[in-house]
Amino acid sequence: MTTTNHPAAPAARTVRRGLAPVPFLAPGMIYLILFMALPVGLLAFYTFFKRGRFGGIVFEFTLDNWVKLLEPLYVGVILQSIVLAGIVTLLALLIGYPMAYAIAGLSPKWRTVALIAVVLPFWTNFLIRTYAWILLLNNAGWVNQWLQGLGITDAPISMLYTPQAIVVGLLYMYLPLMVLPLYASLQQLDPSLREAATNLGATPWRAFRTITLPLSIPGALTGCIFVFVPAMSNFVIPELIGGGKTIMVGNLVRDQFFEARDWPFGATLALLLTILLVIVIVVQTAVSRRLTEGPRRG
Amino acid sequence: MSSAPLLRVDGVRAVYGDTVALHGVSLDIAHNEFFALLGPSGCGKTTLLRSIAGFETPAEGRIEVEGEDLLRLPAHKRPVNMMFQSYALFPHMSVEKNVAYGLEADGIGAAEVRSRVADVMDVVGLGPLAKRRPTQLSGGQRQRVALARAIVKRPKLLLLDEPLSALDRQVRASMQLELKRLQHEVGLTFVVVTHDQEEAMSMADRIAVLRDGRLEQLASPQELYAHPASRFVASFIGTANLLDGTVTAGAVEVPGFGAVIASHALAAGSPATAVVRPEDVELTADAAAAALSGTVVDTYFLGGATTISIEMPGHADPLLATVHGATRLERGARVGVRFGRATAVAREAGAGAEASAQVPPVAPEAPAPQEEVSA
């Protein structure tokens, strides 16, 4: 391409430079617009119309779907989902932090072994893993057999199909997603920071509390998001391990589309879930940045 | 040293797996001394520093501060503070919080912490930056924070690990002066680890040269320069012409150069190296009249002085000579060469490899030329 000495040339050059990344961005952007932005937009659009009798929508404007969200039934389900996903996240953090801390302290060779062990469950089919829990937890399952065999209980305890079982299932499923980001943030911590704290007279516990812990909060928040987001919208585990007795938002969304055939309300629930999760992620990002970089401009 | 030493390192041996990092190093450091541990990477200097701080545990030996066994204390109870090479500033705390950290860890009251932090910040000139985060500071400013944090507890011993290596040349020069000033001002004992001989020479009262986990020589900078104990020290400290030959009475017989007059305490007939500093090489314009002569290969103008590289017949390495100011000599000029003061160090027969440092470094009659150098 030849550039002539034309008055407009500099401006054109700036534009051309601004467009330079386009070939690299375009494939991904087009994919995301087609299969992410467009469907979400469609979803948002549906929430303002009436349901068709056998699914689909009738193009008559209404706010009923949003009003319906405020019914105690649905508010209850949403709150229950938040509580269950929150408990799962908290447990994952409490169990995952010591795990990640221990792995980060291993020698490089054992670190690799431990990390592979952490992600190993992901290589097994999700349904098979879930059914394995059913085998373990049901009334005639292994756990009950052991408990009775060891004389700890006389009769089987019903563990399957309870909210606790859902928590156990979700925790099992998403624990690695907590451990990995935590491990990454602990592992990249400069060991001389802890040494400096020790050198300045901090006991090991104080060094951990004032240096390691605060600097690993961004990793912990990322882990919390990685666990909370999918745990909140999972509907398979509440159905299989929870026996469908405890309904979470994910189940509700699926039921609206496939059983109640109320597409607009299903869309409203799905959109609400999306909005809630986006808010959580935005807050997490802001908090992390503030912690690591401090307030902008001092 | 007349009084009891502040720090005594006695026969410290450190081992990592199969490699020995320190082979029984012993040295004493006096109160208010500016001491340097100097050596190439892998010489064990950092291991020794980290052993004093308590981040490494030696396999053998004792480390004492004022007679108290340091090795029995965990790292956080040692009366020793350290400035880390990477500075290791806490990124999530303000400058002021970083500096206060050590005082708070000791449970000192808030009011006293505040006043002591403010004092130290003034000493290192950080006052206006108190509320900044480390990421908002320049390299030189970060270094000051690290320094302030390390001296605020008034440790008996301040350890500095490569304190200036992360700074660019100009900041480094001013920081060197500042460290010396600070050392006098606060009256602390400094132990600096460095691989930069210029840095050690310009700042330290005494230097321990370490090599492969052994103490090669411990002396003042002037002494190290004038009377190196080994070929290694001679080549590591400053620039030197190393002329390998054989010991004779009061000289070293160097093939091609004849007898080079050198002070030494070596047995006649043993292999030795004559060490001639470039400023002790005298040049004469009349090459024909001189006993030794060579051809100028290159000249390096350094401002206050010029270094001239001279090719000598029958000698592989060019000879380096330093003269004051500029020179009129040009490439290809013939010059006469005469050696002024020189010292001789023992050398293992055969290779130019360095002998062990068992030889007494300096002959008893040596002090006279040394004083001349330091004057």
A94 pLDDT above the threshold of 90: yes
- Average pLDDT on B45-70 reads 93
DSSP codes joined into one string, A153-175: -SS----TTSHHHHHHHHHHHHH
Measured over the CA atoms of residue A287, residue A288, residue A293 and residue A294, the dihedral's sign is positive
Query: What are A30's strand-pairing partners?
Result: none
Asked whether the beta carbons of residue B105 and residue A201 sit closer than 8 angstroms, the reply is yes
B17 with B161, same domain: the answer is: yes
Q: Is residue B198 part of a domain?
A: yes
**B284 and B152 fall within a common domain:** no
Assess whether pLDDT exceeds 60 at residue B356: no
DSSP string, B36-96: EEE-STTSSHHHHHHHHHTSS--SEEEEEETTEEGGGS-GGGSSEEEE-TT----TTS-HH
Final residue in a domain of this structure, among B193, B223, B253: B223
Structural domain includes residue B358: no
Q: Which of B22, B99, B103 is nearest to B62 (CA)?
A: B22
B217 and B245 in a common domain: no
- Give A213-248 pLDDT, tens digit per residue: 999 999 999 999 999 999 998 988 988 888 878 888
The Cα–Cα gap between B347 and B361 comes to 13
pTM (whole model) above 0.90: no
Distance set, CA A39 to CA A33, A34, A271, B289 (Å): 9, 8, 11, 97
Q: Are residues B193 and B263 in the same domain?
A: no
Query: Whose CA is closest to B45, among B143, B134, B159?
Result: B159
Nearest residue to A178 (alpha-carbon basis) of A228, A215, A213: A228
Chain A residues in contact with B106 by the CB 8 A cut-off are 201
pLDDT at B360 over 50: no
Has residue B40 been placed in a domain?
yes
Residue B95 has pLDDT above 90, yes or no: yes
**Domain of B291: which CATH number?**
2.40.50.100
Tell whether B275 and B148 lie within a shared domain: no
Specify the DSSP class assigned to residue A8: T
Which of A197, A203, A215 is the closest to B101 by Cβ? A197
- Report the distance separating Cα B25 and Cα B12, nearest Å: 5
Final residue of a domain: which of B223, B255, B284? B223
- Strand duo B34-38 + B80-83: pairing: unpaired
Does B175 lie in the same domain as B68?
Answer: yes
| Domain presence at residue B129 | yes
> Above 90 in pLDDT, residue B213?
yes
Per CB-CB distance under 8 Å, the chain B contacts of A211 are 90
Q: Are residues B189 and B280 in the same domain?
A: no
Both B151 and B14 in one domain: the answer is yes
Q: Domain range holding B77?
A: 7-223
The pLDDT of B250-254, averaged and rounded, is 88
Instruction: Give yes or no: residues B186 and B276 share one domain.
Output: no
In a domain, B232, yes or no: no
* A215 inside 8 A of chain B by CB: yes
B274 occurs within a structural domain: yes
Average pLDDT of span A7-15:
66
Average confidence score pLDDT of chain B = 86
In this structure, the answer to whether residues B268 and B168 fall within a common structural domain is: no
Q: B 136-175 residues with CB below 8 A of A? A: 136, 149, 153
Weakest-pLDDT range from A14-23, B23-32, B275-284: A14-23
User: Taking the CA atoms of chain B, what radius of gyration do you get in angstroms?
Assistant: 24
For residues B206 and B304, state if they share a domain.
no
Task: Kindly identify which residue of chain B lies nearest to residue A193, measuring between CA atoms.
Answer: B88
Kindly state whether residues B190 and B148 are assigned to the same domain. Answer: yes
The total number of structural domains in chain B stands at: 2
Is the per-residue pLDDT at A206 higher than 90? yes
pLDDT of B310 reads 93
Establish if B365 belongs to a structural domain: no
All residues of chain B having their beta carbon less than 8 Å from the beta carbon of residue A198 are 54-55, 75-76
In a domain, B277, yes or no: yes
Q: What is the pLDDT of residue A8?
A: 53
